[in-house]
Amino acid sequence: MPSPENDIMEMEWVPTVFIAFKVIVLAIGMFLAVKWHYDQARKNNGPASQRAVLRTTVIVSVLFVLLVIGLVMLTLRVGTMLGLDLT
């Protein structure tokens, strides 16, 4: 009969795999969206529109990274306030 400790150890990889998969899928989707908009700007409006698309892409990417960092910090702070062991 398997012990409950083994079940817990076997399930710890599941969130890691799901989160990694989600990050990969979102990164590919973001890349394809930016590439499509960049190609459309090049085809329709020339270099000025390309620069605008690239500038917007950089701004949105930086904002996204800053929000993720803030969310992680907030999560750790709340977890610590609740007395969770986050080591």
Kind plus residue range of the DSSP H or E element containing 78 = helix 47-81
User: What's CA 70's distance to the chain center, in Å?
Assistant: 13
Tell me how far CA of residue 48 lies from CA of 33, 52, 84, in angstroms.
Answer: 19, 6, 51
Rounded mean pLDDT for each run of 10 residues along the chain, 87 residues in total: 59 83 94 87 78 86 94 93 84
pTM for the model: 0.55
Say how many C-beta atoms besides its own lie within 10 A of residue 18's C-beta. Answer: 10
pLDDT of residue 25: 96
Is residue 34 packed enough to be buried (19+ CB in 10 Å), middle (13-18) or exposed (0-12)? middle
Structure tokens at 11: 């399930």
